Structure formats: C-alpha cells, structure tokens
Structure 1
Amino acid sequence: MSQTKVESQSVAQPRHGQIFEPASRGQLCVDGVNAQCPLQSWQVNGLEGGKFFPAAEANLHDPLAPTDAVNAQPPVDGRIASAGQAHSAVLDEQSADRWHKHPARPGQTLEFKWSYHAIHLTRRWNYFITKADWDPNRPLTRAQFEAEPFYKAELTAQPFWEHQAELTPPQPTIHQVRLPERRGYHVVLAVWEVADTGNAFYQVIDFNFI
C-alpha cells in the first residue's frame, strides 16, 4: 500500500492511479459531466480492491508469477465499478441512461491512458467488456462481463523484488486497444494489477457503439 496524502484535517485520502483518456465514469463525475455524482479526484484514483478479476475469492497466487503477493478480497458483484470502496459507491448505480457514454465504433482502436499518483510495481492491465446480451438496467456483476479480457498488457519479469525497473510502468501508460464488435451501450472494465501488493485498481468506461 502506498503512502496516503491528507487533504483535510480528518480524512486520509489515498492516491494511486486512473484512466484519464477516454475519461472514466468516475472522472466524468469529477468533471461534472455525470450528474448527481459528487466525486473528487482522490476518490477516482483510489478505486482499489483485490486483484485477479473475475476471481471472487482472496489468497490466490498469480499463475504467471507465483511469488507475487497473493490477492486481497476482490469487490463483490454490484460493487465492481467502485472496487468496493464506500467513498465511491455512487459509481455502482447502473441503468441504461444513468451515465454519459463515449461514442465508439466496433473494432475501433483507441488509446487508453493511465496516470499515476503512486506508481506500484505492476504485473498487468486487463480490459473486460460487457457481454453482447448484457442487461444495462441491472447491476454490474461478473456474469454481465465476458470472463476473459479482450486486451491484456503483461509484464513478465519476476520475482518482483529483483526487477523494479522492468515492473515500473511509464508515466503515463498508454495502451493501443482494439475494441470488440459490439452495438449500443457497453461498459469496459479496466483493471491495473499490482505485483507487490494484493490489490488492483478498477476503472469503468461507458461507451455507445454506433
């Protein structure tokens, strides 16, 4: 866990990382584009929960790098967008018209850009998308997403304590991601998995495929 920064007298506010382009659901709350969603930047950067989504249990070893830290408890179904963080529970609201959507084309290649307030040694970034027949008026659950990521960026050096340079992501981190074939409203879930802690950082981005 990285150090925290206190921005008020009573609340310790963690800062880690987020997708800033295309703007995530949380960032659009900060920007005032998503209504009735009063979040601050520190909250969007602190969407931290157990890694290895869609795994639902803790204390699992990474099959690629078994000496990495085992995972903490991942967020439960219905709390995926907030990573189970109470300070950002508004992000778990879900309906067909609740959130602003980025226009996208099936098969389009987009740059997904991560920025970090605290850089961790990194194992991978996984990108998931909702199933073709998902129900946008029901909570985001594992069953709503494809079980396998449609895009993965992975760092293979191990053990992590001997490969700090290789496992330190660039600032910013940019992925050239080809979007799957979809129509209409869909949600992309991007998960940044850390090597030397049990956690990952969760970001959801809303798209309208036209």
Structure 2
Amino acid sequence: MRQKTKWYAAAVGLATTGALVLSSGGATGHGYTDLPISRQKLCQNGTVTNCGSIQWEPQSVEGPKGFPASGPADGQLCSAGNGQFNQLNSPTTPNGGAWPTTKVTGGQSYTFRWQFTARHSTSDFKYYVTKNGWNQNRALTRADLELTPFLTVPYSGQPPATLSHSGKLPTGKSGHHVILAVWTVADTANAFYACSDVTF
C-alpha cells in the first residue's frame, strides 16, 4: 500500500509540475515600464486611483504585435486594445486630472527599464514619441505619433526580471508628450504596450 501511495504522490507531483510549466509559457509572459513610469504602473502604485483592474495587473497590457502597421486600434494604443484597461487610453486620469509626467531632456541618454512578472522570448523593444502639436485632448492615435521609433533595441532570448537599456531621447520636443513603449514577443502573435507621460 505504501508503494502505491508513493506512485500516486509522484503522479500528482508530475501533473502539478506539468500544469505549472504549461501556465508559465505561451502568452503568460508579462511586463511593463517603470522608467519612465507608465500609466499602468502609476495605477498599480496608487499614485493614480480608481483605475480598475489594471491596478492589480500592470503587466497585462498585451495586444497584437506588428505596430504601427498592425497592432491595437487607434484610440486603444495605451490599453493594447483591452477593454478592461480602457482607463489607460483616456487623456486624463480616472479622477479627471492630468497624468503625472516624468521630466526628461531631449537629446540626452535615458535609461528605460522594464519589469517582468513572467519572462518571454523577445524580438525587440521599440519606443515611439508623440509629434509636436499632437492632440492631447483625445486617446492616443497613430496620427499623434512619429511612427518611426526613436529607439529600437533588438533582443534575443528571455529577459531577466528587470531589464534596463539606454538610448538617446529625441530632440526638438518641449512640453507634454507620450512615449509608447512596445515589447515584441518572439514566439506569440502579441506584444506588450506601455504609455508614459513625459515633460521635455
């Protein structure tokens, strides 16, 4: 009877391990930017309140990859097209105020940082910025962005839990802008999106 119990325990253990392996692959790789701080991180850390479910899962802003040719629809870029995170698309916070901004300086090197709650095989990281004169009174669209990324960081393999990389910020900017960061996953059809409000 003891041998049978051991085999049963081993089988349960293997089944559990298999379930964990399955749950840690596929589309469960998640991440967000905290330098410059993203809208989802501002909701998660309580700087901005009444954000809804994004406050518990800032890492889950996942949508189709291929931006700007494809990807989330205009007006849904900051939420990656996820209706449950629609608060991130609004030009104002859920409380009606302005999104807090990070001060940056055009032309200088800046260290961008991602936090990953589950790591995923990666193609690259790309960073886009709004055009001068962009419409700040509506949800972000492709027409508001310079569609050539100002920084592209190729990456092969799975990133560590925290990943930093540096690049030069665009010049000729002043005032409030949005940086759209896109983490492209290599082995799924998706990417992760993060909008950060900055002041040049």
TM-score scaled by length of structure 1: 0.75
- Percent identical pairs in the alignment equals 38
Hey, what does 2:193 align to over in structure 1? 202
Amino acid of the structure 2 residue aligned with 1:153: V
Task: Assess if the C-alpha contact under 8 Å between 1:30 and 1:38 holds in 2.
Answer: no
Residue 37 of structure 1 and its aligned partner are, at CA, apart by 2.3
Q: Which runs of 5+ in 2 are unaligned?
A: 1-21
Which whole-Å CA distance do the structure 1 matches of 2:55 and 2:32 have between them?
Answer: 9
Which whole-Å CA distance do the structure 2 matches of 1:37 and 1:87 have between them?
Answer: 10
Hey, what does 2:98 align to over in structure 1? 98
Instruction: Pick the structure with greater CA Rg.
Output: 2
Hey, what does 2:23 align to over in structure 1? 3
Which whole-Å CA distance do the structure 1 matches of 2:67 and 2:29 have between them?
Answer: 21
Q: State how 1:177-196 maps to structure 2 within 5 Å.
A: 177-181=167-171, 182-196=173-187
Which whole-Å CA distance do the structure 2 matches of 1:20 and 1:120 have between them?
Answer: 18
Residue 121 of structure 1 and its aligned partner are, at CA, apart by 0.8
Which whole-Å CA distance do the structure 2 matches of 1:150 and 1:86 have between them?
Answer: 28
Hey, what does 1:48 align to over in structure 2? 62
Equivalenced residue count is 172
Q: Which runs of 5+ in 1 are unaligned?
A: 5-13, 57-73, 156-165
Aligned with 2:165 (options 172, 175, 183): 175
Hey, what does 1:160 align to over in structure 2? none
TM-score scaled by length of structure 2: 0.79
Residue 55 of structure 1 and its aligned partner are, at CA, apart by 1.4
- More strand by proportion, 1 or 2? 2
- More helix by proportion, 1 or 2? 2
- Deviation readout 1:17-68 (Å, 9 max, x if unpaired): 1112222111111222224424445431010001111113xxxxxxxxxxxx
**Mapped pair 1:113 → 2:110:** no
Q: 1:31 to 1:46 in 2, by over 3 A?
A: same
More displaced stretch, 76-85 vs 41-50: 41-50
Three-state SS of the structure 2 residue aligned to 1:147 is strand
